[in-house]
Structure 1
């Protein structure tokens, strides 16, 4: 029972980690696109 609870919390940690990683990648991509848009705007 205790082991199951532990694995579940680990799963949550993995989900949060993946979410943060995706968010970071997404913002990096967005910033690159925004920079390109600015260059095209000029």
Structure 2
């Protein structure tokens, strides 16, 4: 896509940043879910 001019380098960097942030959010959500589940047992 980059070679075809369909996207830019900056767009790729932004995409990787967004994916990284979503990964951190999901890690935090999983930690919270595990804590809530452990408290219910």
TM range (shorter): 0.7 to 0.9
Runs of 4+ residues deviating >6 angstroms = none
TM-score by length of 1: 0.79
Q: Which runs of 5+ in 1 are unaligned?
A: none
| Rg (Cα) greater in structure | 1
The structure where helix makes up a greater share of residues is 1
Q: CA RMSD in A?
A: 1.6
Query: Equivalents in 1 of 2:13, 2:40: separation in Å?
Result: 40
2:19 maps to 1:12 = no
TM-score by length of 2: 0.80
2:35 maps to 1:32 = yes
Deviations 1:1-42 (A, max 9, x none): x7x70100000001100000000000000000000011xxxx
